[in-house]
A and B are shown apart, each in its own frame.
Chain A
Amino acid sequence: MLNNSLPNESLPDENGHFGPYGGRFVAETLMGPLQELTEAYTRYLKDPEFLAELDDELHHYVGRPSPLYHARRWSEIMGGAQIYLKREDLNHTGAHKINNTVGQALLAKRMGKTRIIAETGAGQHGVATATVAARLGLECVVYMGSEDIKRQSTNVFRMKLLGATVVPVESGSKTLKDALNEAMRDWVTNIDDTFYIIGTVAGPHPYPVMVRDFQTVIGREAKQQCLQQAGRLPDALIACVGGGSNAIGLFYPFIEDEDVAIYGVEAGGDGLETGHHAAPLNAGRPGVLHGNRTYLMEDDNGQIIETHSISAGLDYPGVGPEHSWLKDSGRAKYVAINDDEALQAFHDLTKIEGIMPALESSHALAYATKLAPKMKKDEIIIVNLSGRGDKDIQTVATLEGITL
């Protein structure tokens, strides 16, 4: 069962720094509210009543713990390490996103906020936010780039059915990064009654640490389940990294287990050499965006550049600051998987295990197919299956020239 506590170790420091990364780079109007949020979060993190309510919601509403599934057939075919899948796709709303939105929404309620806002790219975080807002009777406004709205019409309708207002964002590249800018603008304007639920481990302090803490339920469960089912810790962890919340959720409880190798998989798009990708840790450099210092995709003048990935959830020019720190410190390794490799893994897992993965998670799976054959048969890899692939069947069909 769930641990009745959340981790909050030495990093970040009190101003949200992970080494040179993270921090709080926002206009002055948000500094007070971010401090207030930090104080509230720190207080409730130690409040047994809050933690009990969170556990109860995760258990009965989200459906946790999610299984750790041994993909025997797929492991056998690859002929190397045993692959276990952490089944975040089986959560309510079909992805890991809800672990965080439940936590933040409960916090919003405690802080007396009546209005919830969120940004969304593919729509998964928007749906997870609209869902908990409905559950708690809170007003909900979701900002979404107008380009993304066109690509993800089903999720837009889901959010509307859940009672949320979806606001199209027409500025900049009209995608996730612009939706985040617009949500920040809303927050700064409606700060008194509004709680901003950020969907990933980026943004100004305390978001990277708060979202991490809510997502570590993934890694804490996986650790316990692996010990129970296999009798030992895994040899490697693999997770996809856009902003990086599912990845940090799996990795964090294993950081001090030095024998566990950690791999984060970025979106290689058409290939790193083409420049059409979303892999700042592999091919970007440090800079400041959306309230934190981290690796970014930017041009020589410091303008943020447009990214490309087959998977909308990884299509983001930044990454959580803790990942930047884990990269520089060498504790985690960050690799890239191209669109076509991810698509192949999507098909493989669907046909071989009867599990249709999200295109985001398919990046992690594709890296497993590279790593597993190089490992021994008694070694263990845990792949975070962060979401289910139903939302992506339209994209896959279009790519393959099929009209549904």
Chain B
Amino acid sequence: MSRIANCFNDLKEKNRKGLIPFIVAGDPQPGFTLPLMNALVDGGADLIELGVPFSDPMADGPVIQRGSERALVHDTSLRDVISMVVEFRKENKQTPVILMGYLNPVEVMGYEEFAKAASEAGVDGALIVDLPPEEAGELKEIMVKYDIDLIFLISPTTNVERQKYISKIASGFLYYVSLKGVTGSNRLDTGSVEESVTTIKQHSDLPVGVGFGIRDAESAANVAKVCDAVVIGSPIVELVGNLSDDSETSMKSITTYLSTMRQAIDVI
């Protein structure tokens, strides 16, 4: 069983909701990423979403765009990101790591080479934002070969027919985009999220994670009530962008922030 499936099974047994923090690898400097990942685990992360920086992050709001830009000042590449996971896995064997990014860096590296390197590094899943299932056939086949879950988005504009289609090709979990907009938007409507997640669950056994508009403990708790895991991105990237160094105190501040999210979703 994959590390992601294991993780969601555990959560289910313990009757807990998953917490998936997102950071951009290499932000604000490549040396920060490993201590940040560990700080997130200390703060209660069940899975980690590691953003692969891209020059043209079309689906991201300003906060994550700036995170990507900070990482690219240091030329953080897809290969660098995979190396960071290698380092992380030296100490941490259980927390699933999902790479989240855009297709072009993967195309340039080559699907097979990417999948092989990612698998050897201990990457568990990949979410390629601008790769809808219609275009994903070739990559999907290769990811299956290397036991990496290819995670897909479902959005408020996805009709039921498409939801079924996406559920069939997806593995790991389904990522429900909570709103019409980019990451970090302020338009979350928990009621409509609940309705959509209920529909998705009618024709898929995969866990459903929800992300894109969760900004604070309150919205995290509200969303967690209606799904299996919440993804928190922009608020963390905002904090990371303000860190002046990678000292223990700095990392502690990230751990403390995530702990408040953990508590919020655990009390529901």
Contact = CB atoms under 8 A, between A and B. Distances in A.
Interface stretch (A23-31, A49-57, A262-270, A388-396): A23-31
Contacts of A29: 59, 153, 155-157, 177, 180-181
Contact of B134 (A15, A172, A298, A304): A15
B185 A189 contact: yes
Interface residues of A, number: 38
B129 A288 contact: no
A14 to B, nearest CB: 10
B39 interface: no
B155 A25 contact: no
Contacts of A189: 180-182, 185, 187
A227 to B, nearest CB: 41
B107 A287 contact: yes
A300 B75 CA distance: 11
A271 interface: no
Contacts of B72: 303
A288 B135 CA distance: 11
Interface stretch (A40-48, A65-73, A145-153, A180-188): A180-188
Nearest to B129: A27
Contacts, number: 124
Contacts of B177: 27-29
B263 to A, nearest CB: 31
B105 A302 contact: yes
Contact of B55 (A26, A31, A303): A303
Given A291-B130, A302-B106, A188 B181 contact: yes
A146 to B, nearest CB: 14
B239 interface: no
A301 B180 contact: no
B56 A304 contact: yes
B157 A172 contact: no
Contact of B132 (A31, A302, A305): A31
Interface stretch (B61-69, B189-197, B251-259): B61-69
Interface in A170-204: 171-172, 177-178, 181, 184-185, 188-192
Interface string B62-105: 10011001001001011100000000000000000000001111
Interface hub of A24, A26, A28 (most chain B Cβ within 10 A): A28
A15 B78 CA distance: 29
A185 B182 contact: yes
A298 B108 contact: yes
Contact of A303 (B105, B132, B152, B159): B105
B173 interface: no
Interface string A11-23: 0000100000001
Given A28-B152, A171-B69, A33 B104 contact: no
Contacts of A301: 75, 77-79, 105, 108
Interface in A297-329: 298, 300-305
A288 B102 CA distance: 9
Contacts of B108: 287, 298, 300-302
Contacts of A32: 155, 157-159, 162
B58 interface: yes
A290 B130 CA distance: 9
B104 A302 contact: yes
A289 interface: yes
Interface of A: 15, 23-33, 171-172, 177-178, 181, 184-185, 188-192, 286-291, 296, 298, 300-305
Given A23-B135, A185-B58, A185-B181, 6 more contacts: A25-B135, A26-B132, A31-B157, A290-B56, A302-B78, A302-B105
Give me the 9 closest cross-chain CB pairs, A-B, nearest first.
A302-B108, A302-B105, A32-B157, A28-B153, A301-B77, A29-B155, A189-B181, A27-B59, A303-B55
10 contacts: A25-B132, A26-B130, A28-B132, A28-B155, A32-B162, A33-B157, A188-B181, A190-B180, A191-B157, A298-B104
